[in-house]
Chains A and B, each alone.
Chain A
Amino acid sequence: QSVLTQPPSASGTPGQRVTISCSGSTSNIGSQTVNWYQQLPGTAPKLLISSNNQRPSGVPDRFSGSKSGTSASLAISGLQSEDEADYYCAAWDDSLNGYWVFGGGTKLTVL
């Protein structure tokens, strides 16, 4: 049972816009920034979005992040087949002396 809650799956057709939600609480998303990671099949995850909405160099602007209250979202516009991957949200949690928490991951399928 992950501390952050994500839908287990999402899907879309090429060119569509897809959003993935991440729900937490006041001790994590509600008071801390959110990162998003992309994990392509058989590879290590990589940072996709940091600090709620910052894209590292090299990440296409089709990817965007937002946060409101105790929830965050990742949006992917102009969906491409290469976007098929697992996506994880993560944040610092202030409880229990502080620790990093992940969502359960969302498998994105490009139909």
Chain B
Amino acid sequence: QITLKESGPTLVNPTQTLTLTCTFSGFSLTTSGVGVGWIRQPPGKALEWLALIYWDDDKRYNPSLKSRLTITKHTSKNQVVLTMTNMDPVDTGTYYCTHRFGELGWGQGTLVTVSS
């Protein structure tokens, strides 16, 4: 059974850097074809894809946010970390981690509020 869970701060000050961790089980990021991604959703709005990291360390980013995002994997810990710099109130929303593009699993999501 594949499970994913997001963890990180619930409140971030504007201009700060957000660091989110996805801890997963039921699969390995050393297996060919496997990836872990991040998707966010502002309150009452649509889903927005952020980034994905593959088993071979190939990384893909949303072009509109690429300059602010970094995705890394810690294979031995079954974790993927997403950092987003220069947070703004418009970045408020629920952040989900997913197995690849959500075909086999989504985390429950973590609500991040950006406010001073």
Is A102's CB within 8 Å of the partner chain B?
A: yes
State the CA gap A104–B103 with chains docked (Å).
Answer: 19
| B95 CB → nearest A CB, Å | 11
Query: Binary interface profile of B, 25-66, with partner A (CB < 8 Å = 1, else 0)?
Result: 000000000000100000000111100100000001111000
Is B109's CB within 8 Å of the partner chain A?
A: yes
A45 touches B106 (CB 8 A): yes
Q: How large is the interface on A (under 10, 10 to 19, 20 to 34, 35 or more residues)?
A: 20 to 34
Is B93's CB within 8 Å of the partner chain A?
A: no
A44 touches B47 (CB 8 A): no
Most buried by B among A45, A98, A101: A45
A35 contact set on B, CB distance < 8 A = 101-103
B108 touches A44 (CB 8 A): yes
Which chain A residue has the least Cβ–Cβ distance from B48?
A102
| B29 CB → nearest A CB, Å | 18
B49 touches A100 (CB 8 A): yes
**A102-B48, A104-B46 given; A97·B106 CB < 8 A:** no
A105 touches B46 (CB 8 A): yes
B24 contact set on A, CB distance < 8 A = none
B109 touches A44 (CB 8 A): yes
B103 contact set on A, CB distance < 8 A = 35, 47, 50, 56
List of 8 A-B pairs having minimum Cβ-Cβ separation, nearest first? A100-B49, A44-B106, A96-B63, A105-B46, A102-B47, A104-B46, A47-B103, A44-B109
